[in-house]
Amino acid sequence: MKRVVYVFVPVLILGVLVAFRVTQKRAVYQAQTAQRAMRMKASAPVSVATARIQDVPQTFDAVGSVEAPLDVKIAAKVTGRIDFLQVREGDRVARGQVVARINPAEVEADVHQQQAALAAGQYKLAEAQLNQNPTNVNISTQIRQQEAAVASANADLDQVRENYQAQVDSANAAVATLEANIRSARANLANAQAKCNRYADLYAKGLVSSQDMDDAKTTLGVAQAALDAVLSQRDASRRQAEIVKTKGQADIAAAQAKTNQTLAALEYARANTAQTPAYQQSLAALRAGVAAAQAALRSAEARRADTVLAAPFDGFVTGRYMDPGAIATAGQPILRVQYMRQVWVTIPVPEDVSASVQLRMPAQVSLDTLPGRQFAGRVTQVNPSADPQSRQFAVRVTLDNPDNLIKPGIYARVRIETSRVRGAIVVPREAVERDREGDYVMVVDESGNVTRRSVTVGMQGIDVTAITSGLRPGERVVTMSAFPLKDGQAVSITERSRGMGRSPAPGHPGPNPHRPSDGK
């Protein structure tokens, strides 16, 4: 009996505990069910916005680089040593400011020479004007002098021609000798190559030592080097021969010109026998000589002025390529100066947008280097031809930069308003949902219930969407909800949307015009 009691009592206690636990779980479940039902009946908290009439701008955003409208590399026009160069990168320069000087010694000598030539020409002209009735003796003397000058010029011309032919023959002979040396060197190279090949075969068979093989390779390398050296000498000789020919032809041309000049002077002297008419021609020739000397002097003075380099406009030095004491050659850049009171931003524009971008359109520009600031610009250039690779058009926006805050070379974000829809019914972009049936909004009626409303979407603004049908001005639409909404569900408005009409910074994509639907 006691054994039965010992078994029954624990079983009874365990059954009571199980029944109590089941009853407790059932009570908790009933409470949760009641709370869930209460939540289903409670209104969902939402944010709303009122549909209103507003202009909707269509904008185009792009990223471009800042450029200076005037970017000049200041270079010397004459060759010489740089005596003065004190500006460096970052220095401001004014228009006309002297930024560099080239040593003018050689040009000054040319100026003095031309001044002397002009003085001599003027003296001869004055003397001829004082002696308008020269005697026959003077004329004969002049004729004999010019004849002697012609003979001397012809002799010089013959000598120059002989020297030219001798130099050409010598250069050709040198080239021919080197050609023979090349043939010999090539033969030696071929012989060394054949020997090296034989030794390679013998070495592979173990018939010669590695030292013999190395000697053969060394001989081959020496033969190749000898051939290369002779080829280089041959090329140098050919270049020297071309130099000799060019210089000789120039000397011949100069000697021929001198001969022609003396012949002209002789003809002039003989023409003096015609007395007055010939003398008038002499005066005209002397005046022409004076005019030519004056032109040569002006040219020399212009070259002297070219030794002083000045800034072409107000700007900043952005590059320095040489230092004082260096030899500058004509056309070699010394400094780089950029104009920065205005800057350009060049952006690529796709084909479908290019037709909407016109000259003088306003643009907003922001820079990563100056966060929080926007600069007003205007479209000043539109390239009518697209890039053949990217199929995009280059558009240039001009910005005033009086404080030099915008630096060339940095990236800039540009926003251009390409079109505008007037008087459109708009809602925040986040109010428009999309599912398989199309675009829709959740409209809140006066009783605080929501109704799904299919709408037709028009132009997308920065943070608003135009509704072309399905909605009236003044109706409230849901912009944000903590839970998926159903037709007829009651809602409680927590706050109204304040996003309509805001303009994010250029380059910011703004809200997504079509948020993914939750499918409910």
Residues 363 and 485 occupy one common structural domain: no
Helix, strand, or coil (residue 26): helix
What is the predicted pLDDT for the residue at 504?
Answer: 39
**Boundaries of domain holding 489:** 44-55+421-516
0.75 exceeded by pTM: no
- Would 243 be classed as within a structural domain? yes
CATH code of the domain covering residue 366: 2.40.30.170
Residues 476 and 425 occupy one common structural domain: yes
- Would 465 be classed as within a structural domain? yes
Residues 251 and 154 occupy one common structural domain: yes
Residues 395 and 317 occupy one common structural domain: no
What is the predicted pLDDT for the residue at 413?
Answer: 92
Residue 18: is it exposed, middle or buried by C-beta count within 10 angstroms (0-12/13-18/19+)? exposed
- Would 125 be classed as within a structural domain? no
Strands 515-516 and 433-435: parallel
* Spatial separation of the C-alpha atoms in residues 41 and 438, rounded to whole Å: 29
Helix, strand, or coil (residue 29): helix
Number of other residues whose CB lies within 10 A of the CB of residue 326? 12
Amino acid present at 88: R
Calculate helix-pair angle for 105-130, 276-305, nearest 10 degrees.
160
- Would 109 be classed as within a structural domain? no
Residues 381 and 501 occupy one common structural domain: no
Residues 249 and 376 occupy one common structural domain: no
Give the number of domains in the chain.
4
Q: Which among 418, 438, 453 is the end of a domain? A: 418
Amino acid present at 337: V
- Would 451 be classed as within a structural domain? yes
Residues 138 and 236 occupy one common structural domain: yes
Please say whether the beta carbons of 396 and 68 come within 8 A: no
pLDDT tens over the chain, length 520 residues: 556 555 566 667 777 777 777 777 777 777 666 555 555 556 788 888 988 988 877 788 899 999 999 989 999 888 888 889 989 998 999 998 999 988 887 777 877 888 888 888 887 777 777 765 554 556 677 777 777 888 887 888 788 787 778 777 877 777 788 788 888 888 888 888 888 888 788 878 777 788 878 887 888 888 888 878 878 887 777 777 788 778 777 878 887 887 888 888 777 766 666 555 666 777 778 788 888 888 888 887 777 888 888 999 999 999 999 999 888 888 889 999 999 899 999 999 998 888 888 888 899 999 988 888 889 999 999 888 988 888 889 999 999 988 888 889 899 999 988 877 788 888 998 989 988 889 999 999 888 889 898 999 888 777 888 888 889 998 999 988 877 888 888 888 886 554 454 333 343 333 333 333 333 3
CATH code of the domain covering residue 138: 1.10.287.1490
Residues 387 and 320 occupy one common structural domain: no
Q: Which residues of 31-70 are buried (b: 16+ CB within 10 A; e: fewer)?
A: eeeeeeeeeeeeebebbbbebeebebbbbbbbebebebbe
Strands 491-496 and 44-50: parallel
Q: Which among 255, 274, 293 is the end of a domain? A: 274
- Would 425 be classed as within a structural domain? yes
- Would 458 be classed as within a structural domain? yes
Number of other residues whose CB lies within 10 A of the CB of residue 270? 15
Helix, strand, or coil (residue 330): coil
Q: Which among 418, 440, 468 is the end of a domain? A: 418
